[in-house]
């Protein structure tokens, strides 16, 4: 990872609507997706957010392998955002499992990082068994000359369950020492479980860069920032929480983003 890249403290996760080639009944035209992406990015930037990660959350159920229309669509959206907000730090996260596709998109649009949900071990998820992609990620990143793109690796992604679970610290060791991930993403099924995970890893001999992948809101963000290096957040910016058909297609709310960032800047004593 390039030495001058600082892990952003707050990363807004922009979940895109279903792309035109999706079989989803709520699929949108590229013009509609462009408008959605730019108006939400504008809200985030105005509130002081300096990093954004793009994810194809609308295209579900998840396809295996990652289909060409997602690679093309996310690349185009990323280019639109890059053109409008050249100083914004961008990242890529795809629902489909694989390292090559997000890394290729990131390199094409000048993104600084990718988030890979199953990096080491084996996870049981809705789409079946997924095996770690650490070797694929490191080798392909070198192959395309993209060592400047950071890898954020989830450990025990909360949307699945590990098969043959190792102790958390050992899984983090596999991801950061042997898998050479630049940061780990820890997210429990609940906020209290996330706290326990962070405490366990922070008190180990590893001391990795830690990001939280969900469950953070204006009420707990300062507590989180005392123990983690950064946060990936989206649901806290919406008027409807959770993952429902309504919330997945919903824009962020400018007031909620402002409240969240106000809590970041003005911590309670």
Convert the pLDDT of each residue in 16-37 to its tens digit. Answer: 999 999 999 999 999 999 999 9
The DSSP letter of residue 190 is S
pLDDT of 4 > 70? The answer is: no
- What does the pLDDT read at residue 54? 98
Query: Checking DSSP bridges between strand 183-186 and strand 150-155, what pairing results, if any?
Result: parallel
- What does the pLDDT read at residue 269? 59
Other C-beta atoms closer than 10 Å to the C-beta of 192 total 10
Rounded mean pLDDT, 214-239: 94
pLDDT of 230 > 80? The answer is: yes
Q: What is the mean pLDDT of the chain?
A: 93
CA dihedral 233, 237, 243, 244 (to 10 degrees): -160
Rounded distance between C-alpha atoms, residue 126 and residue 64, angstroms: 12
Residue with the bigger pLDDT between 183 and 246: it is 183
pLDDT of 1 > 50? The answer is: no
Rounded mean pLDDT, 242-249: 74
Rounded mean pLDDT, 235-240: 92
- Alpha carbon 258 to its chain centroid, in Å, reads 21
- What does the pLDDT read at residue 192? 92
> Per mean pLDDT, which range of 132-141, 158-167, 200-209, 223-232 is the poorest?
158-167
- What does the pLDDT read at residue 3? 46
- Say what the pTM is: 0.95
- What does the pLDDT read at residue 165? 87
* CA-derived radius of gyration, the chain: 17
The CATH number of domain 10-264, selected from 3.20.20.70, 3.40.190.10, 1.10.10.10, 3.30.70.1150: 3.20.20.70
pLDDT of 2 > 60? The answer is: no
- What does the pLDDT read at residue 63? 87
- For residue 108, the surrounding DSSP H or E stretch is helix 100-109
Strands (E), the chain: 10-15, 51-55, 89-93, 113-116, 122-125, 128-131, 150-155, 161-162, 183-186, 210-212, 230-233
Residue with the bigger pLDDT between 45 and 157: it is 45
| Residue in 254, 250, 259, 253 with CA at minimum distance from that of residue 15 | 250
Q: Which residue has the tokens 């400018």?
A: 254
pLDDT tens, residue by residue, 48-104? 999 999 999 999 899 889 999 999 999 999 999 999 999 999 999 999 999 999 999
Please list, in sequence order, all residues whose beta carbon lies within 8 angstroms of the beta carbon of residue 83, skipping any fewer than 6 positions away. Answer: none
Q: Which residue has the tokens 């990242």?
A: 91
- What does the pLDDT read at residue 171? 96
| Residue in 220, 218, 214, 246 with CA at minimum distance from that of residue 232 | 214
Here the contacts of 130-139 (C-beta below 8 Å, separation 24 or greater) are 130/97, 130/160, 132/179, 133/97, 133/98, 133/99, 134/174, 134/175, 134/178, 134/179, 134/180, 134/181, 136/98, 136/99, 136/100, 137/99, 137/103, 137/179, 138/179, 138/180
Rounded distance between C-alpha atoms, residue 205 and residue 74, angstroms: 38
Percent of the chain predicted with pLDDT > 90: 83
Rounded mean pLDDT, 193-202: 95
What residue ranges do the domains of the chain occupy?
Answer: 10-264
């Amino acid at each position: 990872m390039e030495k001058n890249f600082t892990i952003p403290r707050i990363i807004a996760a922009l979940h895109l609507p279903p792309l035109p080639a999706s079989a989803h009944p709520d699929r949108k035209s590229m013009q509609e997706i462009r408008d959605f992406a730019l108006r939400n990015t504008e809200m985030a930037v105005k509130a002081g957010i300096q990093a954004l990660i793009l994810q194809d959350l609308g295209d579900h159920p998840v396809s295996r392998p990652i289909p060409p229309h997602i690679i093309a669509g996310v690349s185009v959206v990323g280019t639109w955002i890059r053109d409008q907000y050249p100083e914004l730090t961008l990242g890529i996260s795809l629902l489909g499992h694989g390292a090559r596709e997000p890394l290729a998109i990131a390199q094409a649009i000048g993104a600084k990082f990718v988030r890979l949900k199953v990096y080491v071990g084996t996870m049981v998820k809705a789409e079946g068994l997924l095996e770690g992609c650490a070797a694929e990620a490191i080798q392909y990143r070198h192959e395309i000359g993209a060592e400047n793109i950071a890898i954020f690796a989830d450990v025990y992604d909360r949307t699945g369950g590990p098969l043959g679970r190792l102790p958390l610290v050992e899984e983090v060791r596999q991801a950061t020492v042997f898998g050479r991930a630049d940061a780990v993403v820890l997210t429990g099924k609940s906020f209290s479980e996330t706290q326990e995970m962070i405490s366990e890893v922070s008190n180990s001999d590893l001391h990795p860069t830690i990001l939280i992948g969900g469950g953070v809101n204006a009420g707990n963000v300062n507590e989180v920032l005392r123990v983690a290096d950064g946060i990936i957040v989206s649901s806290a910016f919406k008027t409807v929480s959770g993952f429902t058909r309504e919330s997945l297609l919903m824009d962020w709310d400018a007031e909620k983003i402002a409240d969240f960032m106000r809590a970041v800047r003005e911590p309670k004593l």
